[in-house]
Every structure is written in C-alpha cells, then in structure tokens.
Amino acid sequence: MSGTGEARQQRALRLIGVGFALLAAYLLVQSTWVLVAGFHPHHSPLGIVWTAITAIVMFALAASKARTGAALDSPVLKTEGRVTLIDGLLAASVLLGLLLNTAVGWWWADPAAAGYVLVCYAIREVREIFSSELRPTA
C-alpha cells in the first residue's frame, strides 16, 4: 500500500470517486422510487440484528482503514476508509429506518435517511476527491 506511484494513486482515487458518484445516483433513484411508490417494507427481528452487526463491523473496519492509511501515508487507503464509513452510515440509517418502521410505522424513514442524507455525503466526497486531484502536489 505504500510506495505506489503518484499516477497509480490518482487513478485509484478517481475510481473511488466514480464509485461514490454511482452510489449517490443509485441511492437517489432508489429512494425516490420507494417514496413515490409508497412501498411499505415489512420488518424482521433477524434483519434488525443483522443490520446492527453490519453497522458495527463497517465502523470498526472504516476506523482501521483510516488508521492504517494514515500510518502508511496512503491517500487511497484513507479514502477507502471513508467509503467504508459510508457503508457503516448506510447500515446505521437502514437500522434506524427499520426501528422507526417497527416502533411507530414510519415506513418512509429508511429511504429518506439512507437515500437523501447519504447522497449528500457521497456528493461531498466526490467533490473532495476530484478537487484534490486538481490541486498541485508538493
């Protein structure tokens, strides 16, 4: 992970940026579709537990990638840590949506949180990745 060339790191960052952009587009379309269609998901205790475990694992993995990326001074691994953080946030927002649907019948909470909040974060990351690419390196 360390000692890779500048061009290779920039290519990897561009790929991560494209991945973020595709994720944002997918979440925007899917969340809008679910809200417009009025789809009311069902809940399951097993799904809630699985989603909670997923969120915990993703946050731990994101922290590990960020620490390792900082130790190796790897911008690619640091950015990948932010991608994994998005995975954790997505799992946490799905969990919140499942819990709100189960507790108070707010069927719209999951697409609103998972979709629109994460779309904003993903767009911010895409801008950060591609604007850092335009900055000269020392």
* Angle at CA of residue 83, ends 33 and 73, nearest 5°: 165
Domain definitions of the chain by residue range: 6-134
The encoded tokens of residue 62 equal 């994101």
Sign (positive or negative) of CA dihedral 105, 111, 112, 118 = positive
pLDDT in tens, the chain (138 residues): 555 677 887 888 888 889 888 988 998 898 899 889 988 877 789 989 999 999 999 999 999 999 999 999 888 888 889 889 988 988 898 898 889 989 998 888 878 877 787 788 888 888 888 887 555 554
Burial class (CB in 10 A: 0-12, 13-18, 19+), 42: exposed
Other Cβ atoms within 10 Å of 16 Cβ, number: 19
Other Cβ atoms within 10 Å of 40 Cβ, number: 10
Which pLDDT score is estimated for 4?
A: 62
pLDDT tens-digit series, residues 105-117: 888 887 887 778 7
